[in-house]
Homo-oligomer: A and B are copies of this chain.
Amino acid sequence: MTQPRRDSNWWGWGDPAVAPELDAEAKAVLSERIGELEAWPLARSLEDFELPVAEMLPSALSDAVGAENVFAGDEDRLRHASGCGYADLARMRMGSLDAAPDAVLMPADAGALRRVLEICKAEGIAVVPFGGGTSVVGGVEPLRGAHSRLISLDLAALREVTVDRRSLTARLGAGLRGPEAEAALGRQGLTLGHFPQSFEYATIGGFAATRSAGQASSGYGRFDALVASIRLLAPAGDLRTLETPHTAAGPALRELVVGSEGVLGVIPDVTVRVRPAPAVRRYEAWMAESFEVGAEIVRALAQGPGLPTIVRVSDEEETQGSLALSGPRGSAGRLFDGYLGLRKRRGGALLIVGFEGDEESVARSRALSVRALRSGGGAYLGQAAGRSWEHGRYQGPYLRDALIGMGAMVETLETSHTWSRLGELHDAVAAAIHASLERQGTPGLVFCHLSHAYADGASLYFTFISRARRGAELEQWAAVKGAACEAIVATGATITHHHAVGRDHAPYMKAEVGETGLELLRAVKERLDPSGIMNPRKLLG
């Protein structure tokens, strides 16, 4: 790799060759539900985009990484200036940014990375670590804090893979994208099993820094559970946890680095637990009488021995909405075709269950699941709908861009709670979003699905879609997002199950961890990053 990646849309998600479009029927349903939309085209081309003028950076930085690894052109600065949340996408569409890094540096190895940190520490230059740039919470926004200069530290060159086949662990460079890591492991018959919706563009370092969870995390475990050991290069020193399966030697420092979101230092590589690649993958769809009933089925599965690798239950509104919209067709194909057969049903909650493993394990896990599904009154919809889910599993962000281009506001957010309070959480957040949208004069759709199941609870993933308020897009978004966050906090749930904190959730960290918890995290930051150069204003505000 000799330069930062430029293979995705600069104004939105993913592969420029994938440009889904809603068909006429879906468009009709949509305008019936949220009103007539007015298209929102890009205000400017990449060439004309308005970027702030870059500050001069010391030449020592160029010496530290090699001049060929410093990128100060507009396109690279632009591509490192934001993530993929609605606010980011809206600003891109508006054609002008308040903030961009002064340059993008791409260290070739951990030594160069360490040299960059030393210079930035000495010179007081803010550093934003950059993996895939897929944050939906403002995690890579170039906020300078108390510093006048800022670099984006692109980790894309750190892509080593070292496998310990005997211990089933692999040290993976932070810059590896999901598919690159899986391909390297796949060549040895292994898998990491971490498949978040951002899988195709997000990186190993990002998974660790944001405490990511994937679609198959009910089976493989969340990313934090896959981390065997980790390394952090911080302004004040290097930290490396031992590569042992467990230790009782005090508090787990690994768990301070995982989820540190670039505010403590840079994660150059992660040693993860890997597994034999599954011989069998089977996805199927079921329909439960209601979301409540579907959630109860999943609770039974999660509290018993046969939890599937993937479990997901859409609430009634999401079930109806996905069927009605039926997914994008266009070049990405009829992604949700398998759902079409469901249109005949009214009400109910769609369940997707997936089984991965060897033939015997899958057979057993499926048998246990089918028992629970049937005893919960579930109706089997077949593998075709399950395969549709699989084919569309990374397509959500493309569809979102299509909707935004049509004039919609689309945002997602997620939380989790114990089984005892999950229903209360679902209702409170959905009601808060609906009410806020109504107050904005843009009533909309609020979809929710249960996306990760644990013995003690589950996560809820919300999507809301309404007309964008032209000229007040960011205010509208902030109001609805804020209403949802307040409802989450009031229910005692977590402000984020797997999207992380970044810029957007930082105001809620006090509710999340309390004043003492915040003090503690600040103490850690002050010790590791005394001059506060690492990812200012994120996580801790």
Q: Which A residues are closer than 8 A to B by beta carbons?
A: 164, 166-169, 210-213, 222, 224, 228, 234, 236-261, 264, 273, 275-276, 299, 303, 305, 357-358, 360-361, 364, 415-420, 452, 454-459, 492-501, 505, 509, 512-517, 519-524, 526-528, 539-540
Contacts and interface: CB of A to CB of B under 8 A. Distances in A.
Nearest to A165: B420
A355 to B, nearest CB: 12
- Which 9 A/B pairs are nearest by Cβ-Cβ distance? A255-B255, A237-B516, A245-B457, A523-B527, A247-B494, A167-B418, A245-B454, A211-B248, A252-B255
11 contacts: A166-B420, A211-B250, A243-B418, A243-B492, A244-B415, A248-B501, A249-B494, A250-B513, A252-B255, A252-B259, A523-B526
Nearest to A500: B248
B517 A253 contact: yes
A249 B496 contact: yes
A518 to B, nearest CB: 10
Contacts of A514: 237-240
Contact of A457 (B167, B240, B494): B167
Given A245-B457, A247-B495, A248-B496, 14 more contacts: A169-B456, A212-B248, A237-B514, A240-B514, A242-B494, A242-B512, A244-B415, A245-B417, A247-B496, A248-B498, A251-B259, A251-B524, A255-B256, A523-B527
A364 to B, nearest CB: 7
B509 A250 contact: yes
B166 A516 contact: no
Given A241-B513, A528-B520, A260 B249 contact: no
Given A239-B520, A419-B167, A520-B527, A456 B228 contact: yes
A32 B151 CA distance: 71
A75 B39 CA distance: 82
Contacts of A251: 255-260, 264, 521, 524
Given A260-B250, A418-B164, A245 B496 contact: no
A244 B493 contact: yes
A226 to B, nearest CB: 10
Nearest to A238: B516
A219 to B, nearest CB: 11
Contacts of A264: 251
Contacts of A211: 247-248, 250, 252
Contact of A416 (B246, B259, B260, B418): B246
Contacts of A247: 211, 416, 494-497, 512
A421 to B, nearest CB: 8
Given A239-B516, A305-B361, A521 B250 contact: yes
B239 A517 contact: yes
A51 to B, nearest CB: 30
A457 B245 CA distance: 5
A286 to B, nearest CB: 22
Contacts of A456: 167-169, 228, 245, 273
Nearest to A494: B247
B169 A236 contact: no
Given A167-B456, A168-B456, A417 B244 contact: yes
Contacts of A254: 255
Contact of A166 (B228, B361, B419, B515): B419
Given A273-B456, A454-B246, A252 B224 contact: yes
Contacts of A303: 168, 275-276
A430 B476 CA distance: 67
Given A244-B416, A520-B239, A249 B528 contact: no
A455 B416 CA distance: 28
A276 B417 CA distance: 21
Contacts of A522: 527
Contacts of A241: 513, 517
Given A213-B246, A258-B252, A259-B252, A524 B528 contact: no
A356 to B, nearest CB: 12
Nearest to A243: B418
Max chain B Cβ within 10 angstroms of own Cβ: one of A228, A239, A253, A459? A253
A247 to B, nearest CB: 4
A279 B417 CA distance: 29
B455 A242 contact: no
A246 B459 contact: yes
A403 B267 CA distance: 50
Contacts of A275: 303, 455
Contacts of A210: 248
Contacts of A305: 357-358, 360-361
A359 to B, nearest CB: 11
